[in-house]
Structure 1
Amino acid sequence: MEHVEPTVGVRVELEYQLTRQDMRQALRARAKVSAAERRLRIITAVVAVLMAANAVLRLADGRGPDFQLALGVYAVVALGVLRPLLMVRQFLKLATRHGGCRTLADDRGVTVTNAGGSNALNWTAASRYAETRDTFVLLSADKNASCLTVLPKRGAREAGGVDTLRALLDRHISRI
């Protein structure tokens, strides 16, 4: 007896090379749902506010600026600014090391293929998604959204592909 693949109702194909902007949007979307990212933002903000308040109080008391305190404030601010840029750079480097991607999304899930191989995700592995201006970002359900798949809208090969992909995602997984 011959093996027959199950019929797939809706199917969307994408071809793309990930860009820095794609990764920036994806990591921002991930940060909104990641508990670890929320904690880090809160801790960084609290430390920066406390350090700045300490500096203001020192100046108000006439003790003058504290070099170590000022250095600490600059370090916390630099961490807040540079960390996202470095993360984008590292994720992009990992995601593009095997070149461009071809992706197929259908009722079974999403399969991403590049020169390094193929990765198939069923809808339970990527159980939620975020839509940004230029991408769909598929995220795992764990509290830190440790797995993400970026699908740039510009990669849709057919007219109406973006709307079809959005409808497919809405049918199988939840939007955040």
Structure 2
Amino acid sequence: MTADVSVQLTYTVTLREISDGLKLQMRHSPAGRWAFRVLWGVGIFLGLVIAINVAVKGTDSPALGVLQLMVTVVVIAIVCRWLMALGLLGYARHLGEHRVTVDPSGISTVSARHTNHTGWEFYGRWAEGRRVFVLLTPDVWGAGVLMLPKRGLSSPQDAERVRELLAARLIDQRSVRAARNNAGNQPEEGPNDAEVVRDA
């Protein structure tokens, strides 16, 4: 008789957990990381240009208009993320309380209005935040995302069991990043190297 290695979570999703999950999705999808770096690079460059312009021409510099535009774009991006989180919250609340089982066969979700079972092969990687575990599909955007709030676990030991189940079946993004940082001048990873890192 095999031991039961399944873990149960029971929760109603909160806005903070959805917001944390979206941040993790952005940080741990290749396209999200690329977009984040490009935005930071452009922002730093424009910031330097504006600072130099203002230092040379004073407060009458037209660069102040560009600064106002940059601030507006940042505010719009933050508002868009919160609107997306609110939309997902409305959907999750419509489903009601979630009862999720994570086991060797995959993830089963039962709510008042929906029942679903997803096999591990649907997801490609996972990440962990302070409040949630996030599972992402293997596409460059990590478009398919599942958030598992730690609040839904019944004990700290269950969190460790979830980590073990995820690490045994999906790529842990922290391990991949640590291995890349430690590799230094070693050859780049081949297509299967990330799987080896995951099991390390």
Identity among equivalent pairs (%): 25
More deviation, 138-147/32-41: 32-41
Higher strand share: 1
SS at match of 1:105: strand
Answer 1 or 2: higher relative contact order, Cα 8 Å, separation at least 6: 1
Letter in 2 for 1:151: L
Q: How many residues align?
A: 170
Contact map agreement 2:28 2:127 (CA 8 A) in 1: no
Whether 1:165 and 2:143 are equivalent positions in the alignment is no
Shift of the 42–172 alpha-carbon distance from structure 1 to 2, 3 Å rule, reads closer
Q: CA RMSD in A?
A: 2.5
Which of 83, 87, 90 does residue 90 from structure 1 map onto? 87
In structure 1, what residue type is equivalent to 2:129? Answer: T
Bigger Cα displacement from structure 2, 131-140 vs 47-56:
47-56
Per-residue CA deviation, residues 104-152 of structure 1 (Å, 9 max, x unaligned), is 1111100112122112110111232112222211111111111111111
TM normalised by structure 1 equals 0.81
Instruction: Indicate the structure with greater helix content.
Output: 2
Structure 1: which 5+ runs fail to align?
1-6
Unaligned runs of 5+ in 2: 174-200
3-state secondary structure, aligned to 1:15: strand
Kindly report which structure 2 residues correspond to 1:7-156, keeping only aligned pairs within 5 A, or say none: 9-62=4-57, 64-66=60-62, 68-156=65-153
Q: 2:142, 2:14 → 1: CA distance?
A: 21
DSSP-derived class of the 1:75 partner: helix
* Alignment TM-score, normalising by the size of structure 2: 0.72
**Aligned in 2, Cα 1:173/1:46: closer, same or farther, shift over 3 Å?**
closer
Aligned match of 1:3: none
Distance of 1:53 and 1:163 partners within structure 2: 45
